[in-house]
Structures are given as structure tokens and as C-alpha cells.
A and B are shown apart, each in its own frame.
Chain A
Amino acid sequence: MNRMISFILNYKGFIIAGLLSVIIISFYIVGEMTAHQRTGAVQTGPLRFLSLAWQEDAVKVVHEITDQWNQLHPEQQVEVIQGSWNAVHDFLITGFETGDIPDIFHYESAIIVDFALRGYLADLSPYISNEMREDILDVNWASVTRSSGEVIGIPFLTASSIVLYNPDLFADAGVIPPTMENPWTWDDVHSAAKKLTLDRDGDGAIDQWGTALGLRNCANILMNLSISFGGSFFYNDDQGDIEVRVSEPEKKLLGTLAKMLFVDKTMAPSGVGKSGTEMIPGFLAGNYAMVVSSGAWARQQLVENAGEGFHWAVMPPIKAITQSLGVNTQTLSIPRSCTRQAVAMEFVQFLLSAENTTRLAISDWVLPSRRSSIEDPRLQDVPSGWNVVTKNTPFLSVGPWVGLPGYVEWKSRVANPIFQEFFAGRMSIEEVAERIEKESTSVLARYQVRGLKW
């Protein structure tokens, strides 16, 4: 006994070190084992559903529908995890790499394409009911269907852009807003903007701008607008490879916006560097007569924050060559590593039933992907602008860049910085064209080498 105590006392340093190593190493081992369990063995417990709904009503609707499911399916509960658009990307990527990933997650088509190319996503096509397949618009399916027919997410909301305007400022300036039958061309916008750009308090500085556009994420806006100009930045070359070109239609688009910003000076310069959301307070303050590209969800902010006597309305899409609107779709996807894909998909079909899709769309103020929801009487309301938003449906179209390997990187590395410099007035259209064509090649080459196919 004495020997043992003296041994412990003499070698206590080694003993503590030994114990610590055992503890830490066992953490490693437990971590490794559970990581494999998550991807391997059959799981039990509730399905985890990562939702990105953020508007108060939308969060409520998601929870109500999930509660309803949980009551009907006591054997297979679903737990909602509240995510945020700002942090979801890092959350999902670390999740995919470690195997600790929600069973169902909410995101957007432009980005899950990249996930699918990395092999992260399950093919949902075998599980989709005929009713759902037929009810959701083809343009939405196009944004999530691979050439092999694999479906990587269920599209349920469509982020399309709308044109907001202030009818009172229009009436003051004697400008008659366009109708669905007679939409404006960009020339009409130019001339209306001139009449609407005013120095109201007579201090020599403009305080009411004809148009405004939040240009921080200008690549998204320009790509989606380019379709209506008949351009799309991405073209198939002779060998069937994708090539980036800034040709006449793209230059026309840049010139149209630059004319208002730099020549006519009818577009609010404060929009350069602001996001779409950040334009809304200025619109509510009556500083802008039109916001030419805004998310449909911005209407919720208007309804909530508009002061007494403030009026607003939604204008039909502006016509370049066409009135086409590029779309980005909000989706629900299931990771390939999920071991309960069939039941997870059952929940998705429940959450995205026709009635529930309508509820989600109304609470999120975004266009639903289902035909039956778009035709729902609740989505024809005039004062909230729903009537124009749903009538925009025929103009929705998918850009040729959807599914293009490397598009996400191209957009943030090449397009955004160059367009930002252009709108800061530091570059000519010719320079934009030259730089985009030059820089695109090196970025996209990395992906072409790997031979990724959508």
C-alpha cells in the first residue's frame, strides 16, 4: 500500500499526463465513430429540418405546418431548426463535410447546384408525386433538374424581381404608369425618370430621384435583367464549351443603366453599394419614384412600415426586347447521406402541398412555384401588389448559367467586383467587356479541367 502511494506521488506528473491523453484520445474516437454513424447506420429520433423562413409570419406558418405533421405522424417527428440566410452556407458546408447535417434543408437553386456537383445531394425524382410534378411550373423544375433527370431540390418559392413605384409622385409629375397590356420600355423609363427627378425643396440639390436600384449585389441583378435584353453573358462556343461574352445585348443593358446613373442623372447615386433591402427606407421617405429591381418580399416591408398616406404599387416588368425575368428558386433538399430519404421526402410533400405552398408564399410575400397557388384568389389582391406579381409568371425564365460549374465563383470573383467598379464610374463599358472575358476564362478553366457535368 505504501509502495503504491509513494509510486503515485513520485510519478504523479506522468499519471496525470496519461489520464489526460486517454480522455482526449477517447473524445477523438467517439467523435469519429458518431460521424460515421451519422452517415452509415440507420438513424432514429426526429428528422431535422433547417428552415430559412425569417419573416415573422413565415416562421409561424412553418412551425404550424410542422406541428400538424407531428400530430399526424407520432412515429416520425420533425424538428425545425431555425437557420439564417447569412450563416447557412458555412453551416451546411461544415455539415456536409463532417456528416452532421439536417435531414431536410431550405436553400436556393443557384447554390444547391454547386452542392449537387460536389455530390452532396440526394436525387429526389423517385419520390415526387405526379400531382406535385405537374403543379409546379416547368421554369422552376428547370432550375433544379440535372441533365440526367436527377432532381436536387423541390422548388417552392420563386425569387423574381418587381418594379415598385410611388403613384403620388407619378401623379405630381404628370406621369401615367404603364399597364399590363402596355408595359414600359427602357426609353419610357428614361423619359419618365427625367420628369420624376426633382429638387423639391429648391436648395439646388436633387432630393427626389426618378429611379433607384440597390447595386451592391449587381451581378445578380444584371444577370437576371440581361435575359430581357436578349443576352446572357454565357454562350456555347463551337466545341460545345461554355464561353463568357459581353456582346451587344449585354453592353446595351450596361448602357441603359449607366445612362440614368451618369448621363441623365435620374438614378439615385446612393444605390451604388446598397442592397435591395436598404433601398426601401428611401422609397418610403419619398426619395425615389421607382425602385426598378426589388425582391417581391420587399412588399412586406412596405405594408409594415409605410406611414399614413404613403402609397405604393407594382409595375409590370420593363420591356427591353422581352419582359423576361431571370429567376432564382427557393428549394428544399435532402442530403445524400440522409438515411431516411423516403420519409424525409414525405414530410417535404406534406409541407409543400398546394394549400401549404400558398400559405408559405403569402407569409413570405414571394411568388409560389405551384400553378394552383398562383391562381389562388388570395394571391390576386391589388393593394398588396400580388396581382402583378402573379401575372409576371409567364415572363419567368431560367438563364443558361443555371447549373454551370463554377458559376457561384464566377459571380463573386469576376462579375460582382467588375460591375461594382463600373457603377462606381471607374470603368467604361468596353473595359468591362474586356476584363470579364479575360478573367472568366481562368476562373471557369478550373472547373472545365475537372469535367463536371450538370
Chain B
Amino acid sequence: MANPVTMTAPPRNRNLDQLQLLLPIMVPVLLISFIPLVRGIYIGFTDYELGGQINFSGLDNYRIMMQDRFFWRSMGVGFLWTAVVTALQIGLGMILALLLNQGLRWTSLYSVLMLVPWAMPPIVRGLMWRQIYSPDTGALNLILTQLGLIDNPINWLASFEWALPAIIVAGVWGEIPKAALFFLAGLKTIPGSLYEAAELDGASAIRKFRHITLPMMKPVIAAVVSLSFMWNFNAFGLIWILTQGGPGGLTRLPMLAAYEEAFRYGYVGYAAAIGNVMVIIISIFLFFYLRLQLKERTG
């Protein structure tokens, strides 16, 4: 009775097999990430306030946002912060990567040391920088007064002049390693023969960098800029620990503004709407930036 044919695997649909491989990971992503995400986006279109009911309110939140001075101000701060931190971290990260790529002694030791700031959670970095900036006991004031550069200690994080530069320094410090690490990996992929050929033609170091390193690194730079832009625009922990958005709202990044709307003032729907707008802004930026990059590469 036994039919040997049934023991061999039946001919099966290839698509079905692929689906089988994907499903076990898709289900948790859908249920744990996607549903809450969709719910969060939906809340941005409701009038949800703490203690209240959730009612659909269409574009009301966005209409209010158009005229919300506090929102626009925090967007301004957000762009300034994102642009400066991203630019500095790309520039300094590139310099660091080039140095590490010189084949100096102990390179692997430096690489590990370089990673330390990035290995710290933003909250810990924040606590550390708060110590450094402390007006009475901070290392920065101590060094500057001992060198005779300042007479009286400066309260860095509470000063209208210094708070923004202070958080930018702290932000850049923590993010350089990420850029440097990506760049170092990129530099390793550039064939040495290109440099040898350029040297035969008598190219200077700067020309070699401009005409070999930079073009070869373009895809890596594009990736790092995109990632950093997103990370920096969404920064929260570091700033929250250092200034809580003060003084006078000067360092209130969009994410801090959204947090305050929801948890301090109770406008959960409006806070979610701010989140939605941030996603749209990041998407638009990335769309144009990446399109530009890809065009240049193919062109």
C-alpha cells in the first residue's frame, strides 16, 4: 500500500517557502513594533489629553502647531543643534579615522579607546559632562581659572551664551567615535594601488585626499550623515540631563518639547503630532540628501 512517492518532498511553491522563512521574524516586528507605531501616529491625529478620552480631531493639532511659537522655536534649536553636531562629528570623525589609518603603532589600542565615549549610554555621558561643567566643582572652570583665562567661574549650562555651545561639545564628543569607526572601515576598502599611482604622478597629500579618498568614501559619508542626522535630531537623554531644555528654552530640542507637552502639560495627542512632524521632516531631508548622493555617484 505504501506509495514511495508520498515520502519524497512534494513540489512546492517557492514564494511560500520564502514567506515561511520571513514570517517568524515578521510577526513579532508587526505586533511589537508596528502596531504601537501606527497607534502613535494615530494619536497624533486625536485630541488625547491626560485624564481625557481619545477623540479623532483630524488636522487640528497641526493647525495649532503652525501658530505655536514654542514649537517653531524648538524646531529652530533642533536644526541648529543637528547641523552643527552632525558637521563637527563628520569632520572630526574623518580626521580621527585618517590618523588611525596611518598604520601608527598601537592602532588597535587607540581604536578601542576611541570607542569608549560611544559605549556609554547618553545618560551617563550627560552626568559626566554635568560634572565637568559644574560651576563650583567642575573641571572646566578649575582649569580655566588656574590658567588665568577667566576670573570668575562660569555657570556653563545656565548661561544664555554658553549653554548651547556646551551641550554641542558634549554631543559631538559622544558621537565622534561612531563616525570615525564607519570611516575607518571605509578607508580600509580603498585599494592602496590608487595612492601608489597618484604618488608616482607626484600628487600631494591634500590632492590625494580630495581626488581619491573623498570620492571613494562618498557612500560611507552619505550613510554616516544620514544616520547621524536622524540620531541627533532625535536627541533627548543627554540634553535632558544637562539642561532640561533651559535656560529660557534655549536648548529645548523638538524631542524635549514633545516630552514636555505630553508629560508636563498633558497634551499627549499634540506631543504625538510633534513626533509625526519630526518623522516627516527627517524623511524629507533624507530623501533629498540621498537622491543627491546617488545622482552624483551614477553621474
**Interface segment, A222-230, A297-305, A316-324, A414-422?**
A414-422
B window 120-175: CB within 8 A of A: 135-136, 151-153, 155, 157-160
27 contacts between A and B (CB under 8 A): A2-B7, A13-B20, A13-B23, A13-B24, A20-B27, A24-B27, A24-B28, A93-B263, A96-B50, A118-B50, A118-B51, A118-B52, A270-B152, A272-B158, A273-B135, A273-B158, A274-B135, A278-B136, A281-B136, A282-B136, A409-B264, A412-B264, A417-B249, A420-B247, A421-B160, A424-B247, A426-B160
Give me the interface of B with A, judged by CB distance under 8 Å. 7, 9-10, 12, 19-24, 26-28, 31-32, 49-52, 69-70, 135-136, 151-153, 155, 157-160, 246-249, 260, 263-266
Chain B residues with CB under 8 Å of A118's CB are: 49-52, 266
A418 to B250, CA, bound (A): 11
Q: Is A16 an interface residue (CB 8 A)?
A: yes
Give the B-binding residues of A (Cβ under 8 A).
2, 10-14, 16-17, 20-21, 24-25, 28, 89-90, 93, 96-97, 114-115, 117-120, 205, 216, 269-270, 272-274, 278, 281-282, 408-409, 412-413, 416-418, 420-421, 424, 426, 442
Please state if B155 and A17 are interface contacts (CB–CB under 8 Å): no
Pick from A14, A97, A272: contact of B155, CB under 8 Å: A272
A5 nearest CB across to chain B (Å): 11
**Docked pose: A90 CA to B262 CA in angstroms:** 10
Contact of B152 among A17, A205, A282 (CB under 8 A): A205
Write the chain B residue with the least CB distance to A215: B158
A117: chain B residues at CB < 8 Å are: 51
Query: Is A17 within 8 A of B27, CB to CB?
Result: yes
Q: Closest approach, in angstroms, between the C-beta of A23 and any C-beta of chain B? A: 9
Q: Which of A28, A269, A418, A420 has the most CB of B within 10 A?
A: A420
Complex contact B27–A418 (CB within 8 A): no
The 7 closest A-B pairs by CB, nearest first: A273-B158, A13-B20, A118-B51, A17-B23, A417-B248, A16-B24, A273-B155
Q: What residues of A have a CB within 8 angstroms of the CB of B260 in the complex?
A: 412
Q: Contact at A89–B264, with CB atoms within 8 Å?
A: yes
Question: Which residue in A12, A96, A216, A272 is a CB contact (below 8 Å) of B51?
Answer: A96
Query: Are the CB atoms of A273 and B264 closer together than 8 Å?
Result: no
Chain B residues closer than 8 Å to A96, beta-carbon distance: 50-51
Q: What separation, in Å, do the CA atoms of A205 and B145 have in the docked complex?
A: 13
Question: CA separation between A89 and B24, bound complex, in Å?
Answer: 39
CB distance A270 to B31 under 8 Å? Answer: no
A17 to B16, CA, bound (A): 14
